[in-house]
């Protein structure tokens, strides 16, 4: 019964995303007005470090490289996780389409008494389609897979995702982000003996939603506050909900610095981590 309900929720979400994207795409676009994404600078175009990806795709023949360092510390269990370089290469292949490549990241996990393990995350490939781009609103549909999708190189690393992202500017300094999508993650993490992690290959689908608001403190900087919630519908598992604070600063036309911090609100897999991160985005854009 639970499995049938989970499949129904997945199909319903996919159908809703598809219908919404098609509806937005078929609406007429303004021919002459400047749009939100055509005027976007690198500080607005970057995906990192927010929980909600930006709704603008990289322009044709342009590219953006994003990287960073992330570390969390669990208030339950004593584990510390570091992940780097979190490198993502985004290349514009058409006027409204980009191709993405997420390089493997080094994962360092220290357990109790200093023991731990080190591994690489799976590489990811994806596409991002600009569904709509208007003067104050933008929508995109993005999909990614980390083959093999059943691999469990690291728990909570999404194995696949399909998401609709939206950005709405309220005025020149304030914008909102709302995102809804499907994600497949490995939730099976446990302990065997002292400081030995056990991972199972099962990947559970879930629904992820994010809402946030950003404040442009200047044309070259952006401060964002976001809330994220994720739940596994296949096994009726409660995923982690967290809040994220981030700040971006333009260092030059082609370089942006970002810093972030966050806290989870509920315990999942025996952990309730808080985290910090920092990174750089490099853009060869017009």
Q: pLDDT tens digits, residue range 181-192?
A: 988 876 544 443
Q: Rounded distance, CA 159 to CA 99, Å?
A: 17
In the chain, how many domains are there? 1
Look up the CATH number of the domain holding residue 246: 2.40.160.40
Nearest CA among 163, 166, 162 for reference residue 138:
166
What pLDDT is attached to residue 116?
66
Please say if the pLDDT value at position 17 is more than 60.
no
pLDDT of residue 269: 55
* Strand ranges (E), 75-159: 80-84, 88-94, 97-102, 106-110, 116-120, 124-133, 137-145
Most confident of 17-21, 129-133, 275-279: 129-133
- Lowest mean pLDDT segment, chosen from 54-63, 97-106, 218-227, 262-271: 262-271
What confidence category does residue 154 fall into, taking pLDDT thresholds of 50, 70 and 90?
low
pLDDT digits (tens, 9 = 90+) for 239-283: 678 899 999 999 998 999 999 999 888 765 556 778 899 999 999
3-state SS assignment for residue 204: strand
In percent, the amount of the chain with pLDDT more than 90 equals: 39
For residue 1, what pLDDT is reported?
A: 46
Host domain of residue 49: 2-284
Nearest to 210 by CA among 247, 238, 243: 243
Mean pLDDT of the chain: 77
The pLDDT of residue 91 is 96
């Amino acid at each position: 019964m639970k499995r049938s309900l989970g499949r129904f929720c997945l199909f319903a979400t996919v159908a809703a995303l598809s219908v919404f994207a098609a509806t937005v795409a078929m609406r007429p676009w303004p021919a002459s007005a400047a749009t939100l994404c055509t005027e976007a600078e690198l500080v607005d175009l970057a995906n990192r470090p927010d929980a909600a990806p930006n709704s603008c795709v990289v322009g044709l023949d342009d590219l953006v490289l994003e990287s960073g360092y992330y570390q969390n510390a669990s208030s339950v269990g004593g584990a510390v996780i570091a992940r780097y370089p979190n490198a993502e290469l985004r290349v514009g292949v058409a006027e409204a389409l980009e191709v993405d490549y997420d390089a493997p990241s080094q994962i360092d996990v220290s357990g109790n008494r200093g023991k731990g393990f080190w591994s690489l995350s799976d590489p990811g490939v994806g596409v991002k389609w600009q569904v709509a781009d208007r003067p104050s609103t933008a929508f995109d549909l993005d999909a990614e897979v980390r083959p093999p999708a059943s691999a469990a190189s690291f728990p909570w690393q999404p194995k696949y995702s399909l998401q609709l992202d939206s950005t709405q500017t309220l005025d020149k300094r304030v914008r909102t982000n709302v995102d809804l999508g499907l994600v497949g993650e490995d939730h099976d993490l446990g302990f065997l003996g002292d400081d030995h992690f056990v991972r199972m290959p099962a990947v559970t689908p879930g629904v992820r939603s994010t809402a946030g608001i950003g404040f442009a403190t200047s044309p070259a900087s952006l401060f964002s506050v976001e809330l994220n919630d994720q739940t596994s519908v296949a096994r009726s598992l409660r995923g982690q909900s967290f809040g994220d604070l981030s700040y971006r600063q333009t260092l030059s036309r082609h370089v942006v610095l970002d810093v972030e911090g966050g806290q989870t609100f509920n315990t999942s897999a025996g952990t309730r981590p808080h985290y910090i991160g920092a990174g750089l985005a490099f853009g060869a854009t017009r």
